[in-house]
Amino acid sequence: MTWLEYIVKAFDNLGGLASYTDLYEEIERIRPEPLSPQWKATVRRTIETHSSHSANHGPGQPDLFYSVEGLGKGIWALRNYQQFDTPASDVAEPESKYAIQVTLRVIRDSTLAHELKRLYQYRCQICEHSIVLNTKERYAEGHHIKPLGNPHGGPDITANMIVLCPNHHAELDFGARQLFQADLKIVKHSISQLYLDYHNYEIYPYR
Ligand SMILES: [Zn+2]
C-alpha cells in the first residue's frame, strides 16, 4: 500500500476526520512496514500535496483532503469518500440532499463534538445504540440542536449539542421528530432548554 492509501484508510477508520496526532496513531497501528524517522513529515506532505487548501497542492493531483478549522490547526478530513475513486477531470455528479447533509456533518465534526462523543462512549443519547465498526472502534454523530450557520445561527457549544446515532440524527436534521429532555436516556452534560425549544418550534414544523 502507498502512503496515500494508508492515510485514506486511517481517515476512514477514524470516521473521515482526524487531528494529525490521531492520524499518526492510527497509521502506526495499521501499517506493518517499519516507519522511517521522517514518516510524520511524509504524511503531512502527502496530505498537503492532495489538498487545494494547501499551498503545496500538486498540479493535477486529486483534491482529497479538507482542512477543517483552517490551516495550521492540524485537523483534516477526507473531502469525499467517493472522490478517491473518481478521476479529478470528471464532471461532478449533482449531489443528493442526503449526500450534502453527510458532507456537512463531516466538516462540522469539530474537536468539541469529538470530545462529547467520547464522553458518551459513542452512544446515542436517545436510544443508547452505539455502532461498532469492523476496526472495533465505535461510531456516533454530534448534532447541533439549533443548527450552525444561516439562517439559524446556533452556537458551537456543548449546551447546544447532543450525541446521536445516524437514524436519530437524520430524524432531527429533517425535523421529523420533536426533542425533549425526557427523550434523552443518557445525560452527562447540560443541554439548554433554549435550543430544545428552537428545535421544537423552528425546525420541527418545517417539514
Ligand atoms: Zn439513536
Going from the Cα of 127 to the center of ligand 1, the distance in angstroms, rounded, reads 4
Going from the Cα of 130 to the center of ligand 1, the distance in angstroms, rounded, reads 8
Nearest to 111 by CA among 149, 77, 65: 77
Going from the Cα of 93 to the center of ligand 1, the distance in angstroms, rounded, reads 31
Going from the Cα of 177 to the center of ligand 1, the distance in angstroms, rounded, reads 12
Nearest to 83 by CA among 108, 50, 57, 110: 50
Going from the Cα of 147 to the center of ligand 1, the distance in angstroms, rounded, reads 19
**Predicted local distance difference test score (pLDDT) of residue 1:** 83
Going from the Cα of 141 to the center of ligand 1, the distance in angstroms, rounded, reads 10
Cell numbers representing residue 98 in the block: 442526503
Going from the Cα of 77 to the center of ligand 1, the distance in angstroms, rounded, reads 24
pTM over 0.95: no
**Predicted local distance difference test score (pLDDT) of residue 51:** 85
Going from the Cα of 4 to the center of ligand 1, the distance in angstroms, rounded, reads 34
Q: Are residues 127 and 165 in contact, defined by beta-carbon separation less than 8 angstroms? A: yes
Going from the Cα of 29 to the center of ligand 1, the distance in angstroms, rounded, reads 30
Going from the Cα of 135 to the center of ligand 1, the distance in angstroms, rounded, reads 21
**Predicted local distance difference test score (pLDDT) of residue 71:** 54
Going from the Cα of 124 to the center of ligand 1, the distance in angstroms, rounded, reads 5
Q: How many CB atoms lie within 10 A of CB 70?
A: 8
Query: For every one of its 207 residues, what pLDDT tens digit does the chain have, with 9 covering 90 and above?
Result: 888 889 988 888 877 778 888 899 999 999 888 888 899 999 999 998 888 878 888 888 777 887 776 555 677 887 754 333 333 333 344 444 444 444 555 455 567 888 899 899 999 999 999 999 888 889 999 999 999 877 888 888 899 999 999 999 999 998 999 999 999 999 999 999 999 999 999 998 754
Q: Are residues 195 and 146 in contact, defined by beta-carbon separation less than 8 angstroms? A: yes
Query: Domains plus CATH for the chain?
Result: 3-85 (1.10.10), 110-203 (no CATH)
* DSSP codes joined into one string, 71-96: TTS-EEEES-TGGGGS-TTSPPPPPP
Q: How far is CA 87 from the centre of its chain?
A: 24
Going from the Cα of 143 to the center of ligand 1, the distance in angstroms, rounded, reads 12
Rounded CA-CA distance 207/128 in Å is: 26
Going from the Cα of 10 to the center of ligand 1, the distance in angstroms, rounded, reads 26
Going from the Cα of 180 to the center of ligand 1, the distance in angstroms, rounded, reads 14
